Every structure is written in C-alpha cells, then in structure tokens.
C-alpha cells in the first residue's frame, strides 16, 4: 500500500501528512475485494490515521450507500448510530449505519467542528463518502486540532490555557418539530430519542444538562462543562469542540455569543478570543476536493470538519457513517 500526494496537503513529505491519501493502485473492482484489502492493511491504516487525523481513499468502487456501508463495516469499529446521538442536525438514514451528512440548504455553510463535541456523547471515527460532488463548491474543510491548538498557544497563551483548564458549556434551543431549513433543526424529541417531556427531563438530568421549556414548546438546554481541549494518548493537545461552528454558524451567536457559549465555570468567553480562533483556523484548513467514490476516514478526536456552500443543478450527495471507540471488553 502506497500513500499519494494531493495539492495543498499540510506537512507534506512527513509521517503526519494531513490528509493522508490512498489511491486504489491495486485495481480493486468490487466491494468484497475492497473489504479484503482493508483487513489486509488495517494495522498500517490505523497507524497512519493516528498520525494524520484523516485518510482520503480515492478510486475505490463505492457507488451507493450499501457499498459505503460494507466498506466502512470492514474496519470493525463498533456502530455509533445517529438515532442514539444527541446531535441537533437533521439527517436522513439510507441504512441503519449510513445517513446524509446534513440536510441544511446548499447555501448554508457548516463551519468547522468535532462531531457532536457539543454533547457528552460523540463518535470516535467518522466516514464520509461522496457519491455525487456538487457542480460548484461543496468541498469539506478539515483541520487538525493539534495544529490549531499549537498556533493558539503561540498566539495567545492565556486563551489556550483558559480553554484547556475550564472547558466550555453550550446552550442550544431544540425546536418542538424538525426544521430541515436549519443546520441545527432537529427537534428535542428526535434529538433526545424520547416521546414526552418527562422522558426528556429524565434523560437531560442523567446527562448533566440544565434546561428550560419555552412558550413555543421548544427546549433550551445547557450542557455541563465539556472539554474544549483534549490530550490524546500520544500526548498531543488538540482543540476539540464546536466553538467555531457555534460562533460562526449557529443562529444569532455572533451577535450574542454569551447566550450560547461560556467557559465551564460559567465565566464569559471574550469575543475577541473567538474571533482569533476563527482567524487562526483559516491558516490550517484543507478543503477536500470531492470526487465521486471518495471516502474520507476522520479521527474525530484529532480533526475537525465542515461543509462549504455549493451551487448548481446536480444534488451534492455526501453520506456519513460513525464509529464508536473500540474496547478491550
């Protein structure tokens, strides 16, 4: 197995090149062959993923949700089903494991984030599959959290230390019904996988949330303190959160961020610190230039991702499957 080059990669020529790229140089033509290939090379792939944070597979025979399901299953990660998550994005399932990346309108940008880092439950791995790229735009920006944290520590050590030591709390409003026109439009019943207010409150209490029911039937919920920076087993400190996505993309947050974001000790996050993080992130973004059949495997602990707006008559189709952390149990 050989790794390939792609224009604009970070740390090109180094072991932790971002993203790593694997081409179908063995001429695999079926999913069965691809599954066997993954199992044959999995140890090397896992090693590279831990270094790079993202591996882009190009030229493999992925043409449907079912193909993608089988390809991702060959890695052996425990299933992390979307219905069991606390994500507030509206998604559509194709198989039990595979669902759309986001149903927000094509002109809406999904900003950089670690998947579900605004909740106490998040996946370990993320697979993306592009079945149909957009006519124009629609790239998926990705970013290595350790590169961003190192830049922040160098630029503003006070900010980096505060986020690392205090963590962050998120306040979200879940509507009473799904709103597909919003990137955060999943209803509280769907988000919490419940059918009544009583069940919702029991689950929120169990997960450490505080909450308030609003007059229109929506739910305002605030997390307990969650990590903003994590230290991986290898010792790398990574920016791990939804701060950029929340500040840039959640409705009304840029105007009144203090209503949605605060440090884990309830103290205020300076607006200029959030602006600085957004500005720094732009120096470390790699925009994945999707081709039909591409699969990207992202270590959610190490890399952020997002979605650029797109246009054209062709419907962009990028699907997702999630993997939980493997255990020794």
Residue 131 CB coordination number (10 Å): 20
Cβ–Cβ under 8 Å, residues 230 and 238: yes
Task: Please give the angle made by the CA atoms of 326, 327 and 329, to the nearest 5 degrees.
Answer: 145
Whether the per-residue pLDDT at 328 is higher than 70: the answer is no
Can you say whether the dihedral through the CA atoms of 215, 243, 128, 73 is positive or negative?
negative
| pLDDT tens by residue, 14-68 | 999 999 999 999 999 999 999 999 999 999 999 999 999 999 999 999 999 999 9
Reported as half-sphere exposure (CB side, CA atoms, 13 A), residue 297 has a value of 26
Task: Please give the angle made by the CA atoms of 279, 164 and 269, to the nearest 5 degrees.
Answer: 55
Cβ–Cβ under 8 Å, residues 119 and 85: yes
Q: How confident is the model at residue 329 (pLDDT cuts 50, 70, 90)?
A: very low
Mean pLDDT (whole number) for 161-172? 97
Report pLDDT for 184: 64
Closest CA to 86 of 277, 226, 247, 217: 226
Residue 317 has phi, psi (to 5 degrees) of -130, 105
The mean pLDDT value of the chain amounts to: 93
DSSP SS3 for 257 = helix
Report pLDDT for 136: 96
DSSP string, 130-194: EEE--SEE--EEEEEHHHHHHHHHHH-HHHHHHHHHH-EEEEEEE-SS--TTSTT---HHHHHT-
Report pLDDT for 251: 86
Which residues, 6+ apart, have CB-to-CB distance to 223 below 8 Å? 118, 119, 120, 169, 170, 171, 208, 209
Residue 125 has phi, psi (to 5 degrees) of -130, 150
Whether the per-residue pLDDT at 178 is higher than 80: the answer is no
Report pLDDT for 181: 59
Whether the per-residue pLDDT at 183 is higher than 60: the answer is no
Whether the per-residue pLDDT at 79 is higher than 50: the answer is yes
pTM over 0.85: yes
Can you say whether the dihedral through the CA atoms of 49, 53, 59, 60 is positive or negative?
positive
Residue 151 CB coordination number (10 Å): 18
Cβ–Cβ under 8 Å, residues 326 and 76: yes
| DSSP tag of 78 | P
Mean pLDDT (whole number) for 315-328? 86
Report pLDDT for 165: 98
Whether the per-residue pLDDT at 187 is higher than 80: the answer is yes
């Amino acid at each position: 197995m050989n790794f390939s080059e792609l224009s604009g990669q970070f740390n090109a020529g180094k072991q932790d090149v971002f993203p790593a790229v694997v081409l179908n140089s063995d001429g695999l033509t079926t999913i069965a062959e691809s599954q066997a290939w993954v199992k044959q090379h999995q140890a090397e792939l896992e090693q590279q993923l831990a270094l790079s944070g993202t591996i882009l597979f190009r030229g493999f025979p992925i043409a449907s949700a079912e193909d993608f399901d089988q390809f991702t299953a060959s890695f052996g990660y425990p299933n992390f089903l979307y219905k069991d998550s606390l994500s507030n994005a509206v998604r559509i399932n194709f198989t039990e494991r595979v669902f759309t990346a986001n149903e927000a309108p094509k002109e809406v940008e999904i900003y950089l984030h670690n998947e579900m880092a605004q909740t106490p439950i998040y996946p370990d791995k993320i697979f993306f599959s592009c079945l149909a790229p957009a006519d124009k735009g629609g790239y998926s920006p990705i970013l290595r959290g350790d590169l961003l944290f190192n830049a922040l520590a160098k630029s503003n050590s006070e900010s980096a230390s505060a986020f690392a030591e205090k963590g962050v709390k998120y306040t979200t409003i879940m509507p009473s019904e799904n709103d597909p026109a919003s990137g955060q439009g999943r209803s509280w019943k769907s988000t919490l996988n419940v059918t009544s207010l009583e069940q919702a409150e029991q689950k929120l209490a169990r997960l450490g949330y505080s909450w308030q029911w609003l007059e229109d039937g929506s739910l305002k919920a605030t997390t307990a303190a969650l990590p903003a920076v994590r230290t991986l087993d290898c010792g790398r400190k990574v920016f791990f959160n939804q701060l950029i996505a929340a500040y840039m993309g959640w409705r009304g947050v840029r105007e009144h961020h203090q209503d949605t974001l605060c440090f884990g000790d309830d103290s205020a996050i300076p607006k200029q610190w959030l602006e600085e993080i957004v500005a720094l992130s732009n120096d470390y973004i790699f925009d994945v230039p999707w081709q039909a059949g591409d699969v990207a495997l992202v270590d959610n602990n190490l890399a952020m991702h997002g979605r650029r707006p797109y246009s054209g008559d062709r419907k962009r189709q990028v699907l997702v499957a999630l993997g939980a952390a493997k255990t020794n149990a």
